[in-house]
A and B are shown apart, each in its own frame.
Chain A
Amino acid sequence: MNKFLSLTKIQVIDFFSKYTQQLNVKNKYLGILVMFLPILLIFPATQMVLEIYNSFLAMGFPELTVTYMYIANTILMVVVSIPFIISVFFYSKDLRLIATLPVKEDTIVFSKLASVYIYLLAISSFFLGTAVVIYGTIGELNLSSLIVGIIALIISPLIPMIIATIIILPFMSVIGSGKRRNLMVVVGNMLLLGAIIVLQMLSSKIQLQPEELNNILLQEDGLLMVVGRRFPPSIWLTKMIQGSIVNGVLFIGLNVVLVLILKTFAKTVYSKALMKFNQEGDSIRGGKIYYKSRNKGLQMIKRHINIIISNPVFLMNTVLTIFMPILMFIIILFTGEIQGELLKSTVLFPYHVYIFSAIITTPAIIGSLSATVITREGKTFWETKVLPISARDNIKYRIYTTLIIKLVASLILGIMTIFIIPVNLQTVLVATVFCITSTLFFSSIDIVINIERPLLNWSNPTAAVKNNLNILLALLLRLVVGVIGYGLYKLIDGWEASVVMLVFSGLFIILYFISIYIVYGMYEEKFIDIAP
């Protein structure tokens, strides 16, 4: 087999094996079912795209659904691909082996990008894919649009992936040298992500006078030009799906050019960034030899926090999943997309408790740290198993670690939000109770997922915290809780917001006690059986 294909095949097999590892292979159908679990996410995606489609249809420009979703999709892919690229290139355990193989540098770079491509294609399928299918099938079936749209979908991850690669690889060689490089990597990349989001927000702001907007709407492609003016490929893609060959050539041509650019610079990127980064050490020297006694529990919690902090991919993933929605919110405020006055309006006052609760509970809802707390330890999991601590304590300190991180994040978010939304003491108290009870429940129950699926042998850190089914199962759990919660909310519609939140808090307390029974009563033995 061709060297590139062979190397890529290994990377792709590794990608999928981390995802499917420890499925119940004896039960073939259950295995297949679980494998396709992420497809469930297509339902909320379809709902969202349908609403956007109907809005653009009402304006007479249904094709803008594809444009809009493509732009949003591209930004999302750039953002999520950055930690992934860092993980597979700079923290992958197979690099030392691959570096010794008699293959060209561009072969290594592109084979490594194969798993990033698959991941991005999956994301793209949910958003752009859904938009293409809805645009091509609703109303009258437009087969050619559908086929061209699917081709565009397959190509769509290339632009964000290559742009992110071209930015991130040289960037890492700069920030990744010297002492405390892991810290530099995290801080540097958070700033880079922030800069990308701010740039996107600022560039996409539509600052048009009403008269100008009317004139544009009267033109055939006027609105398309406005939506896609800062990102021409979105215009080419839309027109390509509508049947324009010239725009199709432009769109596909741009992708080909980017691939060629990356191929040209692959050798430089490899030797100047990748090899340089791997030559540098991250050793911290200095300090005194000390002899200090600490509580066992504190030592265990410190260990689990250290595991996150010491790995830039773990840390970035934790920070991003917990803070990113709020960062986006703040950036939107900063760029003027939402006026601060709106949030201070008395009209919104009855909803403050919902808004404040949602914001401070984001870490519990989005972050599923307990679902990967064993996996993050990887091959070093054996260490705590031979220590004289009980399995129950071993599980307990892992849950405490998640609780501490999430509650600290909630506290930070709460303090930040108080400056944006004027909330009274009652709102703060009610939201705090809701936040604590929901955090207790999710932090406890998530660990069951990891005890069921303890992936200890991973090749790169993304496989430990992102590219595995544990995260999706945790999200599915939240989806189920959310749907049931929404149903209950409809039942008690009309009750005062604070009372509603306290009722939900009470339900979370009951769920927490049930989760405690499940974790310690049913899963302690299973934890003991986990074989590193």
Chain B
Amino acid sequence: MLILKNVSKIYGNNKKAVDQLTLQIEKGEIIGFIGPNGAGKTTTIRMITGIIALTEGIIEINGKNITKEPVEAKKNFTFVPDHPTIFDAIKGIDYLNFIGDMHEVTIQHRKDRIEKYTKAFQIYDSLTQTINSYSHGMKQKLLISGALLPDPNLFILDEPMVGLDPHSAKILKDIMREHCEKGGTVFFSSHVLEVVENLCDRVAIIHRGKLIACDTPKNIKKNSSATLEEIFLEMTKDE
């Protein structure tokens, strides 16, 4: 579903944010992407989603190259960023219809899914209000609902739990799991290692732009009694 081959990103100041990253995610998998601050998680996600260009390497989403066939590639995923910065002078329902139009979601499908997710996140009654009156958490829930609306093959989230109350975080985790069970794929970054450990089929760890591990939580822990947090801290500590 998602293939990254020797992907690198060098910024203008010659800083190598991502270095020869190779990763393959299969259909139906739920992958947690973890790493310390500044490790290159957000840069990687921004390259996958086409927000920034790759310096080198190849990214394919469902067989479509994000650089060569961006529109076809983008039809296969939706994205929730780490901060709900969206154009907020419109109503919540306007935003969802906008996303629906861009992803060519049919009216019936749109109605069903908007109701399903906005009711689950308890923002359905606020959809007729302008987004600038929403709290941080409500904006996050609206973004997640919008990203789920087209029923994407690949669901990409950057720090999705930030700003969510425990009830909504639980709903999101259930939705992510349900999405994978139906054949979809989830790729998300997080600093909440407990969530990653309990939810993910595999965990990818990035440090200083390089992928240092990608395996099941069990294998990463090498069957030891240590928690993923302890292993993560050990793997990413500076010499």
Instruction: List residues of chain A with CB within 8 A of the CB of B86.
Output: 380, 383
With A290-B97, A386-B79 given, is the CB distance from A282 to B87 under 8 Å? Answer: no
User: Are A529 and B53 closer than 8 Å at their CB atoms?
Assistant: yes
Instruction: List residues of chain B with CB within 8 A of the CB of A388.
Output: 71-72, 74-75, 102-103
Q: In the complex, which residue of chain A has the Cβ closest to the Cβ of B49?
A: A386
Partner of B98, one of A282, A303, A311, A531: A303
Partner of A299, one of B49, B74, B101, B127: B101
Interface of A is mostly: loop
User: Are A284 and B100 closer than 8 Å at their CB atoms?
Assistant: no
With A283-B133, A388-B75, A390-B71 given, is the CB distance from A291 to B111 under 8 Å? Answer: yes
User: Are B87 and A383 closer than 8 Å at their CB atoms?
Assistant: yes
User: Are B97 and A386 closer than 8 Å at their CB atoms?
Assistant: no
Which stretch of B33-41, B88-96, B226-234 is in the interface? B88-96
| Chain A nearest CB, measured from B83 CB (Å) | 8
Confirm or deny: A379 has a beta carbon within 8 angstroms of a beta carbon on chain B: yes
Confirm or deny: A102 has a beta carbon within 8 angstroms of a beta carbon on chain B: no
Instruction: List residues of chain A with CB within 8 A of the CB of B128.
Output: 285-289
Instruction: List residues of chain B with CB within 8 A of the CB of A293.
Output: 97, 100-101, 106-107, 110
Partner of A289, one of B72, B93, B103: B93
User: Are B98 and A299 closer than 8 Å at their CB atoms?
Assistant: yes
With A287-B128, A291-B107 given, is the CB distance from A311 to B89 under 8 Å? Answer: yes
| Chain A nearest CB, measured from B51 CB (Å) | 5
Kindly identify, within residues 359 to 411 of chain A, every residue whose CB is under 8 Å from any CB belonging to chain B: 377, 379-380, 382-383, 385-391
| Chain A nearest CB, measured from B93 CB (Å) | 5
- A–B Cβ pairs within 8 angstroms, 8 of them: A283-B132, A284-B91, A287-B91, A288-B128, A291-B107, A307-B87, A380-B87, A389-B71
Beyond A293-B97, A293-B107, A386-B49, 18 extra complex contacts between A and B, CB < 8 Å: A282-B130, A282-B133, A283-B130, A289-B114, A290-B97, A291-B97, A291-B110, A293-B101, A294-B97, A299-B102, A383-B86, A386-B78, A386-B79, A387-B103, A388-B71, A389-B74, A529-B53, A531-B51
A contacts, CB < 8 Å to B: 281-296, 299, 303, 306-307, 309-311, 377, 379-380, 382-383, 385-391, 528-529, 531-532
**Pairs A-B, 3 closest by C-beta atoms:** A310-B89, A283-B133, A388-B74
B contacts, CB < 8 Å to A: 46, 49-53, 70-72, 74-75, 78-79, 81, 85-87, 89-91, 93, 97-103, 106-107, 110-111, 114, 124, 127-130, 132-133
